[in-house]
Structure 1
Amino acid sequence: MSATPVAEVHLADLGFGQGAHLLVQRALAGLPPGGRLAVSGRDPALRVHLPAWCRGRGHRVEWPDRDDRSDLVAVVVRGSADDDRWHGAERAGPAQPSALTRRPPARWGLGARGALLETGGPEARFDLDDRDLVWADIAPHLYAQAAARQWDPQTAVPWDDPFALPADVEAAVVQVMTYLVENEQAALVVPARFVGRIHPHFREVVQLLAVQMADEARHMEVFSRRALLRGAELGTSSAGGRQSLFTLVAESDFALASFLLSVLGEGSFVDLLSFLHQFAPDPVTRRICWLAMQDERRHVVFGMAHLEHQAQVDPLLRDRLRAAIHRRHDALIDTAGLNADVFDALVVLAAGGWRPDDVSTGFDRVRALQDAMDQGRQRRLVRLGFRPDEAAALSALHTRNFM
């Protein structure tokens, strides 16, 4: 031997077909380039397998005189790299979300952020590959919060609590639940259309949208279950309402879809769920509206944070948002807006009785709800940089279907 090895590894009867390379690899990891490792073992194939393994990883093998030790197979001299596969390899950006790469290249593909990427992999194309198009600094926090606050429809709702409602009040609940289901279906489909387009480098956004979809699926379940709880058939679904929701699903721009759904639609939906929680005639309806409201608030928070971030880097964003509102308004101008059966059902629930004064009070409360929705939309529009007078005008153009 030209030099004395500084480390040894004894493989006994273990061959490379049974994992011997792991012991050799571990021993080499503690040596600097040029370090020497004596490998001993009794497997007859070691003299073939060891040099083959070393060649693929840039290590050199020396064959010593075996007279002094019958089980000494070879001496491995560590090379400068552990594996030729990683020559020229790069990291897929930083692992921490606080130091994201703005435009992750297509060659990073589905590699984990921060991983060492073997060269030669496929280039996976994700068209939403710009941090400023999808990111919000609050996304990791919101995802952690959303994951921790997932609730089980079976155990979180008092389905077995006894209650009895007059038939007309139960019918009003069923109609509102029908309306909520179809709105939540649209709210699930919209993020689903974008999840597969976002570069995995921005995985917290993908994770958050995935949980948002799970939220909407859960809402659809509990609203449907409440509608059918007393054996009734579902209520009516208006053509105008479905057309309004379709304009959300058809929007292909992520920023505009987030704006129309989360900032305008779900923001108003939070007000509606708060209203229903307040005037719910039974414990099941009250509970599911409260649970759904907590989820929807997170959706609005992300939509706002995402668009506020984008507005800082794109001075033309507000022009696009403004145009999206006008375009949607023009598409829906000939529709009837909110299903009249839904409006009437909300009046019944808010009235709490059938005297003329009760109905008048219920009607006023629904009008107050609409005003609260309008004021909320205006506040969110102002936060995105619109002047108060323009925010008022744009809010007035929002679909009468609430979402």
Structure 2
Amino acid sequence: MATNKEEKSEQPQDQQSEESSNEALETPARPSLDWMNDTLQWGTKVPPGKHGITIGDLQVGVYGDIPEVSTDMTRRPRGAFPIPGIPRTDLYALSAKVDIWADNAADLYEEAIQRRWMAHADVPWDDLAPLPDDVELAMRQLCTELAQQASLETDVIGQWLHRMNYAYYEVKAFLATEIFDTGRHFVAFRQRALANGGKLGLESPGHFNRRLMEARAGWTEVAIYLYIIRGTLTQLVLRYAEAYAQSPAEKYLFRKCLEDKARHVAYGLAHVKYAVENSDPSFGLGLNNLMRAVEGDLSQEMQDPVIWEALAIIFGGGVSNMVEGMEVVKGLQQRFIEQYLARMKWVGIPKTEANLNPGLAVYLRREEATPA
């Protein structure tokens, strides 16, 4: 007579496996809930302020401890409990605070999300007045170049953002808003160029664009190119364009983009200043020496007449008044170089008129610049 054990052994293997699986499902292990005790700091509470709870408000306790250098190569949110043995998910090239930090990044993030605007709905396109053909063509050229600058800025930040350690999430969060801004700028300027039965203009020279895209030394160097050089010039162009705009739609467009650009430049200036002040004294000197080749590219690009002629037509109100418009352009160019020198000095880089590229020094006129 066969025993139960023998009967069970005679069952097909698949049936035995199925029964074993069912038994396992019917008797689950009791959860330990040990993970609920794993925290670096319990009892943290951040009360909402007049602006709700901002990321600056969250810089409390261990969650506000910003390391000078981070060795964490995971995407663990700063302050989360670390688990031993977690494989690294990236090899962040920028893992030191000095590489990317700016004290105003958290506040700039909050400003960015509070000042969102939509080009398709907020710009009063219905109030876009028809312009004379020559002024319309000039405006299309200006918007084409501004759209190209915006698309380039999106790509430049994008190729550096993933290299930044999550220990400095305030900076990463702000730069994410900047990418959103530049994407919106690209679309908005393209919309204006194609409005009124329009067309896109000429592509701008690529000397400085290539410098931005191919920079590999570090984010601080890129920040100088992107914010102190290109950002300063773009700010001035937007400010003048708003002043000379002939329709509510253009005034709104240039004003909102100017507000965004001021925020971007504010981060760039704060970061470069932080990096210079918290690095070896030779770092600032090295950055100044680096500008020799960069200023050469900028000088060559500024000799291209297309953007300046387009602006002269806009400022003068037509080709017939280009001479008057070009005087305004010269004032803009002078202000650009003056602000470039002033901002380099403010961040701690010894850039002066004496060591400025001669091709840029020619724009420094001594008479009063035309106000915008």
TM superposition score category, shorter chain reference? 0.7 to 0.9
**Counterpart position of 1:25:** none
Q: Tell me, yes or no, if structure 1 residue 370 matches structure 2 residue 343.
A: no
Cα-to-partner distance string for 1:350-395 (whole Å, 9 max, x where unaligned)? 112455xx3332111000010111111111011022457x256437
Distance 1:324 1:399, change over 3 A: farther
**Counterpart position of 2:157:** 191
Q: 1:272 aligns with which of 213, 231, 237?
A: 237
Cα-to-partner distance string for 1:183-219 (whole Å, 9 max, x where unaligned)? 1121111111111000011111111111101111100
**Counterpart position of 2:345:** 382
Q: 2:266 aligns with which of 288, 297, 301?
A: 301
**Counterpart position of 2:16:** none
Partner SS state of residue 137, structure 1: coil
Q: 1:228, 1:219 → 2: CA distance?
A: 14
Distance 1:84 1:359, change over 3 A: closer
Partner SS state of residue 160, structure 1: helix
**Counterpart position of 2:356:** 394
Q: Tell me, yes or no, if structure 1 residue 286 matches structure 2 residue 248.
A: no
- What is the letter of the counterpart of residue 254 of structure 1? W
Q: Tell me, yes or no, if structure 1 residue 117 matches structure 2 residue 82.
A: yes
Q: 2:97 aligns with which of 113, 131, 148?
A: 131
Cα-to-partner distance string for 1:245-280 (whole Å, 9 max, x where unaligned)? 111111122110011111121012101100101112
**Counterpart position of 1:17:** none
Q: 1:250 aligns with which of 214, 229, 233?
A: 214
Percent of residue pairs identical: 24
Distance 1:353 1:182, change over 3 A: closer
Moved more, 109-118 or 318-327: 318-327
Pairwise CA distance, 1:228: 0.3
Instruction: Answer whether contact 1:140 1:205 (CA < 8 A) is retained.
Output: yes
- What is the letter of the counterpart of residue 345 of structure 2? V
Q: 2:303, 2:126 → 1: CA distance?
A: 32
**Counterpart position of 1:30:** none
- What is the letter of the counterpart of residue 146 of structure 1? A
Pairwise CA distance, 1:323: 2.8
Query: Which structure dedicates a bigger proportion of its chain to strand?
Result: 1
Unaligned 5+ residue runs, structure 1? 1-43, 58-81
- What is the letter of the counterpart of residue 219 of structure 2? F
Q: Tell me, yes or no, if structure 1 residue 53 matches structure 2 residue 30.
A: yes
Q: 2:360, 2:265 → 1: CA distance?
A: 16
**Counterpart position of 1:104:** 70
Instruction: Answer whether contact 2:296 2:357 (CA < 8 A) is retained.
Output: no
| TM-score (norm: length of structure 2) | 0.78
Instruction: Answer whether contact 1:85 1:118 (CA < 8 A) is retained.
Output: no
Q: 1:152, 1:159 → 2: CA distance?
A: 12
- What is the letter of the counterpart of residue 75 of structure 2? L
**Counterpart position of 2:108:** 142
Instruction: Answer whether contact 1:140 1:204 (CA < 8 A) is retained.
Output: yes
Q: 1:352 aligns with which of 305, 317, 320?
A: 317
Moved more, 283-292 or 379-388: 379-388
**Counterpart position of 1:68:** none
Q: 1:225 aligns with which of 185, 191, 197?
A: 191
- What is the letter of the counterpart of residue 30 of structure 2? W
Q: 2:236, 2:256 → 1: CA distance?
A: 13
Cα-to-partner distance string for 1:36-58 (whole Å, 9 max, x where unaligned)? xxxxxxxx999954xx436x56x
- What is the letter of the counterpart of residue 378 of structure 1? L
- What is the letter of the counterpart of residue 116 of structure 1? F
Instruction: Answer whether contact 1:161 1:283 (CA < 8 A) is retained.
Output: yes
Distance 1:153 1:247, change over 3 A: same
Q: 1:267, 1:299 → 2: CA distance?
A: 10
- What is the letter of the counterpart of residue 53 of structure 1? R
- What is the letter of the counterpart of residue 370 of structure 1? Q
Q: 2:25, 2:195 → 1: CA distance?
A: 70
Q: 2:130, 2:186 → 1: CA distance?
A: 23
Larger Rg: 1
Q: Tell me, yes or no, if structure 1 residue 166 matches structure 2 residue 136.
A: no
| TM-score (norm: length of structure 1) | 0.72
Partner SS state of residue 116, structure 1: coil
Distance 1:316 1:94, change over 3 A: farther
Cα-to-partner distance string for 1:9-62 (whole Å, 9 max, x where unaligned)? xxxxxxxxxxxxxxxxxxxxxxxxxxxxxxxxxxx999954xx436x56xxxxx
Pairwise CA distance, 1:284: 2.1
Distance 1:313 1:376, change over 3 A: same
Q: 1:384, 1:214 → 2: CA distance?
A: 26
Partner SS state of residue 106, structure 1: coil
Instruction: Answer whether contact 2:104 2:267 (CA < 8 A) is retained.
Output: yes
Q: 1:352, 1:122 → 2: CA distance?
A: 62
- What is the letter of the counterpart of residue 195 of structure 1? L
- What is the letter of the counterpart of residue 342 of structure 1? I
* Alignment of structure 1 residues 177-188 onto 2, 5 Å: 177-188=143-154
- What is the letter of the counterpart of residue 394 of structure 1? L
Unaligned 5+ residue runs, structure 2? 1-22, 42-58, 363-372
